[in-house]
Amino acid sequence: MAGEERRFKIGYALLPKKENSFIRESLVNQAKSRGIDLVKIDRERPLVDQGPFDCVLHKLYGEDWKSQLEDFRSRNPGAVIIDSPDAIERLHNRISMLQVVSELKIENQSETFGIPKQIVIYDQETLFDKQAWELLKFPVIAKPLVADGSAKSHKMALVFNHEGLNKLKPPIVLQEFVNHGGVIFKVYVVGEYVKCVKRKSLPDVSEEKLNSLEGSLPFSQVSNLATHEKSDDKYYKMMHLEDTELPPQSFMTDIAKGLRRAMNLNLFNFDVIRDTRFGNRYLIIDINYFPGYAKMPGYETVLTDFFCDIMNRKEREVVVVEKH
């Protein structure tokens, strides 16, 4: 029918927990009002038998899903897949995840960025080999090498001395713990959009305190750390999150753009800390694919804008092809 608005269908394939937090009525309605229908993909049926979809939005892993996407793409060459499974896979390994940071070239006179010193330990033997440790000194953060979003991949520990190594199970990444004023910055990226927020993090560890601490302290995600020490409650009350200055927005945007291009991903966030030894040095400690966007104020508008951008770009490409 002439003049009828073209509607776009975005199929989404997410695990139940992600779906519950992300696909809210408020998002579905806002997208609908702008010509985009969000449709749940039935994971019990082959993807190629569903749709038609202009775009597939997903956060599922595994060889079966990957081959379903490839099959779908070969039959629907015009459809957009957000994002490519191969590009996402790079973030499942905590070493390859941060390699991309060292490849970035960003011109900035006043701020610098990098990653903490880190080593990967594949077996128990290397864990207790002093030579393997030459790069690092305590305290260190021990993180599982695999970062696939599972509960297990979030289990970390702050290790204060060699005794604390006993509880660790390789393969793991050991990352130097850098004092950062107890605040972590989470930078959310949705296509061109970049938003930086502050969260509480692990308290600083002084040289004196280090000597009196036992072995290690387990925790899950740094930003929602709940330790059992009463002294830390006092520490958090003293530490006013609102007094912490955010990193310069333009600097974070430049890093986000660089990462987006280098990783070929649209939906991710990265965790940044400010190294208290140098006020203008920032360290990227983690990158996550398709994070909890619903925690971001007004996420519905941000995501709907992104969907519209993707669809508009797709339409422009179709027009260009037709002209040829």
Residue ranges for the binding site?
A: 18, 59, 94, 143, 154, 175-186, 201, 271, 286, 288, 292
d(CA 130, CA 162): 10
Instruction: Determine the Cα–Cα distance for residues 155 and 196; give it in Å rounded to an integer.
Output: 24
HSE value, Cβ hemisphere, 13 Å, CA-based, for 25? 0
Beta-carbon count within 10 A of 33 CB: 9
Backbone angles phi, psi at 179, to 5 degrees: -60, 130
List the structure tokens of 319.
Answer: 């027009």
Q: Which residues are annotated as a binding site for 1D-myo-inositol 1,3,4-trisphosphate?
A: 18, 59, 154, 186, 288, 292
- Give me 179's structure tokens: 């004092």
Amino acid type, 321:
V
Give the number of other Cβ atoms within 10 Å of residue 305's Cβ.
16
Q: CA–CA separation, 32 vs 39, rounded Å?
A: 11
Kindly state the tokens that stand for 164.
């604390």
Residue 33 has which token pair? 């009002």
What type of residue is 55?
Answer: C
Contact 273, 201 (CB under 8 A): yes
Radius of gyration, alpha carbons of the chain: 22
Joined together, the tokens standing for residue 229 give 């020490």
290 and 188 Cβ atoms separated by less than 8 Å:
no
The answer to whether 61 and 148 have CB atoms below 8 angstroms apart is: yes
Annotated binding site for Mg(2+): 271, 286, 288
Q: Can you say which residues are annotated as belonging to the binding site for ATP?
A: 94, 143, 175-186, 201
CA–CA dist 187, 304 (Å, integer): 19
